């Protein structure tokens, strides 16, 4: 896609990311990670982009039957998709925060390095970060709650750097009657000796070619709502003989974007499944996966904004109108500056979440950091996703009519960005989640302390709004939930940017999609 508009190395060209890593990582960690970051930045502008484009041109296809009419339900991916998978595995996009040697060397900063690598990888690679995100989430859940066998046989594959051994995971929650309202899940689980059998339908299963999936299902006789849901590991190849597990891929979805990444509708028909962890804490355990997929969503949103800014700025240097190049036009400069401010804000808020997650996972976190992350991950996901759509839309407009032309590759940026506010929790659903969290005093205290620490310019106003909503009557509080979430996210970003010495510009002329 428009190779001449991309810099030779997207890491070298990303002054904001470099400054953040320089300030936030210990020098030894930055020195250790720099070669990989630089190599990812080079690849992103070269072969990753070419493979991403190839995947988009030849999306995965579903083969439901073999020549003898036997059901096989194989998803056939182009070679370019396998190349992307190999780079992701070799670079440790999933592995980094699970490797003993990495953790011994850099501790919780592994999550910052991982997020930076994913940020460089994401915008060139046709949504391959979606499988990375779910695989990371599954590795976390199985590491924390899985059996010894699941850790030995499954986690080892999910975090493998060897592309010939590496597996990816899916995340099967959504059913036809409800995605946000997971408590309506109807897939039934019944005991069968030492394992379980699942029956029912899952309506959105991304990365459907995965070797394993984590699925929510309701054991027979369990209570209604999310409380009655248990978490199961569903392998593609079922014991004892490794034959195809008993689920059918009814079809691949015909999507607005993310076309290279196959999303299937699945019917489970007595599918073999293993219980993960505590059968009565299924949804709580799934939350650990969601926190990680939401972080990757924010990483993708921040990266998408940066890519949009890079392309628009490069075009502005070349395109002439009214006697001078666009980058000389004062109003266009203002538009580009505002887009860049949004990209910077998204980057800082996202990387703060990566930092917190790393500290929590390695036991480095102090009091209040877990509560801060619990609130912050909802805010970061909802805010960056929405701003990514706004920034990409503005970037498309920066190209005038050419931005609307399919063969420039630009419309794909907008199509792919549009999923970011929908999956992993919509803007409203996450705003309500943030509101629930804010009703706990430890969350309110934690975000207050964070905004004070950062001397966030708009902290008083945002915290007043949050206090009022947290204590208001339920309907009024719900109506205010998005305003509260946005105010907190913008105050937090303002504080992080102020601390970093970066210009703070709340969305102004064009970038307000709420
Ligand atoms: C491309 C793609 C891939 C996906 N992949 C997966 C996957 O791999 N695994 C998986 O489990 N799911 C997946 N999903 C599903 C996705 O997570 C859900 O679509 C999403 O969570 C929303 O759920 P829903 O579609 O049921 O919408 P609904 O819950 O019906 O929401 C519809 C609208 O109502 C709003 N709404 C809902 N409740 C409230 C409320 N209480 N107050 C105010 N507004 C409300 C929502 O914000 C939204 O605007 C995927 C979706 C897409 C588009």
Q: Quickly list DSSP for 185-225.
A: ---EEEEETTEEEEEEEEEEEESTT-SEEEEEEEETT--SS
Q: Is the CB of 127 under 6 A from ligand 1?
A: no
Q: Is the CB of 265 under 6 A from ligand 1?
A: no
Query: What's the Cα-to-Cα distance from 414 to each of 389, 422, 491, rounded to whole Å?
Result: 7, 14, 27
Query: What b/e string do you get for 50-61 counting C-beta neighbours within 10 Å, with b at 16 or more?
Result: bbbbbbbeebbe
Query: Which of 132, 168, 175, 180 to probe ligand 1 with, by most ligand atoms within 8 A of CB?
Result: 180
CB neighbours (10 Å) of residue 69? Answer: 6
Contact assessment for residue 198 and residue 268, using Cβ atoms and an 8 Å cutoff: yes
DSSP one-letter code for 502 = P
Q: Are strands 71-76 and 188-192 parallel, antiparallel or unpaired?
A: unpaired
Ordered per-residue pLDDT tens for the chain, 514 residues: 444 899 999 999 999 999 999 999 999 999 999 999 999 999 999 999 999 999 999 999 999 999 999 999 999 999 999 999 999 999 999 999 999 999 999 999 999 999 999 999 999 999 999 999 999 999 999 999 999 999 999 999 999 999 999 999 999 999 999 899 999 999 999 999 999 999 999 999 999 999 999 999 999 999 999 999 999 999 999 999 999 999 999 999 999 999 999 999 999 999 999 999 999 999 999 999 999 999 999 999 999 999 999 999 999 999 999 999 999 999 999 999 999 999 999 999 999 999 999 999 999 999 899 999 999 999 999 999 999 999 999 999 999 999 999 999 999 999 999 999 999 999 999 999 999 999 999 999 999 999 999 999 999 999 999 999 999 999 999 999 999 999 999 999 999 999 999 877 766 655 554 4
Q: Is the CB of 204 under 6 A from ligand 1?
A: yes
Q: Is the CB of 381 under 6 A from ligand 1?
A: no
Q: Is the CB of 179 under 6 A from ligand 1?
A: yes
Question: If you take atom 51 of ligand 1, which residue's CA is the nearest one?
Answer: 423
Tell which atom from ligand 1 comes closest to the C-alpha of 263. 3
Domains and CATH numbers, the chain: 169-279 (2.40.110.20)
CB neighbours (10 Å) of residue 26? Answer: 11
d(CA 138, CA 368): 25
What pLDDT score does 94 carry?
98
Question: If you take atom 40 of ligand 1, which residue's CA is the nearest one?
Answer: 429
Q: Is the CB of 169 under 6 A from ligand 1?
A: no
d(CA 55, CA 25): 34
d(CA 321, CA 121): 34
């Amino acid at each position: 896609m428009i190779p001449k508009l991309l810099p030779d190395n997207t890491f070298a060209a990303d002054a904001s990311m470099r400054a953040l890593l320089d300030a936030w990582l210990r020098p030894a960690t930055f020195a250790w990670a720099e070669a990989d970051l630089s190599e990812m930045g080079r690849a992103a502008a070269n072969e990753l982009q070419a493979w991403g484009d190839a995947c988009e041109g030849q999306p995965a296809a579903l083969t439901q039957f073999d020549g003898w009419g036997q059901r096989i339900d194989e998803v056939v991916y182009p070679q370019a998709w396998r190349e992307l998978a190999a780079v992701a595995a070799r670079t440790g996009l999933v592995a980094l925060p699970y490797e003993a040697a990495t953790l011994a060397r850099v501790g919780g900063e592994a999550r910052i390095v991982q997020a930076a690598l994913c940020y460089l990888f994401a915008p060139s690679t046709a949504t391959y970060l979606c499988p990375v995100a779910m695989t990371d989430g599954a590795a976390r859940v199985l590491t924390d709650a899985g059996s010894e066998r699941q850790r030995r046989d499954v986690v080892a594959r999910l975090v493998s750097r060897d592309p010939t051994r590496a597996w990816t995971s899916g995340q099967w929650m959504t059913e036809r009657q409800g995605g946000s309202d997971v408590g309506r899940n109807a897939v039934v689980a019944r005991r069968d000796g030492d394992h379980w059998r699942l029956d029912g339908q899952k309506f959105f299963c991304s990365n459907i070619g995965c070797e394993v999936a984590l699925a929510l299902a309701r054991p027979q006789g369990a209570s209604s709502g999310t409380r009655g849901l248990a978490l199961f590991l569903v392998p593609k190849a079922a014991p004892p003989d490794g034959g195809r597990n008993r689920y059918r891929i009814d079809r691949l979805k015909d999507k607005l974007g993310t076309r290279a990444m196959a999303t299937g509708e699945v019917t489970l028909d007595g599918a073999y499944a293993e219980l993960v962890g505590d059968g009565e804490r299924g949804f709580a355990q799934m939350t650990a996966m969601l926190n990680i997929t939401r972080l990757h969503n924010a990483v993708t949103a921040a990266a998408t904004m940066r890519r949009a800014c890079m392309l628009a700025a490069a075009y502005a240097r070349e395109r002439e109108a009214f006697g001078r190049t666009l980058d000389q036009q004062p109003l266009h400069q203002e538009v580009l500056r505002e887009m860049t401010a949004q990209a910077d804000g998204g980057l800082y808020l996202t990387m703060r979440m990566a930092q917190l997650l790393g500290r929590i996972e390695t036991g480095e976190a102090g009091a209040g950091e877990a509560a801060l992350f619990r609130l912050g991950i909802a805010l970061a996901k909802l805010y960056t996703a929405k701003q990514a759509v706004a920034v990409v839309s503005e970037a498309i407009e920066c190209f005038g009519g050419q931005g609307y032309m399919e063969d420039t590759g630009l419309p794909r940026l907008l199509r792919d960005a549009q999923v970011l506010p929908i999956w992993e929790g919509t803007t409203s659903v996450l705003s309500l989640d943030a509101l629930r969290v804010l009703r706990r005093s430890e969350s309110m205290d934690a975000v207050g302390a964070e905004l004070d620490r950062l001397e966030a310019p708009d902290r008083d106003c945002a915290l007043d709004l949050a206090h009022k909503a947290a204590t208001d009557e339920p309907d009024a509080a719900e109506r205010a939930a998005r305003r509260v979430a946005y105010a907190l996210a913008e105050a937090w970003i303002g504080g992080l940017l102020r601390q970093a010495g970066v210009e703070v510009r709340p969305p102004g002329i064009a970038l307000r999609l709420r």
